Structure 1
């Protein structure tokens, strides 16, 4: 009986340790129809951006890394989207800086001419909150902060445009 109690205690302690180490894995997942996880991140320009400041306007949140080949393929579509919809939709690119190098981020932004805010997720906390696997992954958030859609993997301009058109009609 004593061994059984010790085994249960050990299981409880291991479970608690795992829960505290990986909170995003045990919390509510970012999913369509749910409130988008809040964030406050510093951008390459030194400004801090919060999810709250975008309320009232649809928001596209693109998660990426400079070493990601599909991210390189997708970048021109994001630039084109920004040019076309910048008055109707906010677009931010969240670099998972915890798994990247700031020099590489700056080079990527320069090479691809990203004109929208590039936010730095230095501890990957925002990526964890959104459960980002794989990259790129893009969330489309409506005016009230509810996740309307999600794109996993590199998307082309036509795919983005179709999703944005639906987002603007919400």
Structure 2
């Protein structure tokens, strides 16, 4: 009986891991507005691997992560990688513009003025929270707070390698 229960638990764990690793949850199709006022939708990002990063200028962890976010963007952009930095609704627009300019952010920074983008992505209230999307617009992984850089980069490389 113990062998049966152990076997059943192992099988269930394997099935659970398969569903977790092969998630095909599509990212919500929202409208982003860049600092320059350009609008685009999540569906416009298909064909690229994209990190959608929710952040704020008053978030210590967000600011600590920004050099790595810039480095990953610059290192992998030629392979079809992009970054969309979504400034939270509570972050004053002048602060976001100043930070973006002063730090020469090389990717698209958007303003979520009404909070609709954060709401669509699991009702994000605190930062940082990031979503790695595959080329089909599916969520590969969700990152909350600090994350292991080596594991992130490996996941990014694996996602970029898929067509």
- Evaluate the alpha carbon distance shift between residue 146 and residue 124 of structure 1 in structure 2; reply closer, same or farther with a 3 A threshold: same
Q: Which structure has the bigger radius of gyration?
A: 1
Q: CA RMSD in A?
A: 1.6
Correspondence list, 1:123-134, <5 A: 123-131=114-122, 132-134=124-126
TM-score by length of 2: 0.78
Residue ranges of structure 2 left out of the alignment (5+ in a row): 1-22
Q: Aligned match of 1:120 in 102, 111, 122? A: 111
TM-score by length of 1: 0.75
CA contact (8 A) 1:76 1:112 kept: no
Residue ranges of structure 1 left out of the alignment (5+ in a row): 1-31
Correspondence list, 1:18-167, <5 A: 32-87=23-78, 88-96=80-88, 98-131=89-122, 132-155=124-147, 157-167=149-159
Q: Deviations over 1:60-103 (max 9, x none)?
A: 1011011111010000001101110112212110111x211011
Question: Runs in 1 of length 4+ with deviation above 4 angstroms?
Answer: none
Paired residue total: 138
User: Which secondary structure state, in structure 1, belongs to the residue aligned with residue 127 of structure 2?
Assistant: coil
- Evaluate the alpha carbon distance shift between residue 108 and residue 155 of structure 1 in structure 2; reply closer, same or farther with a 3 A threshold: farther
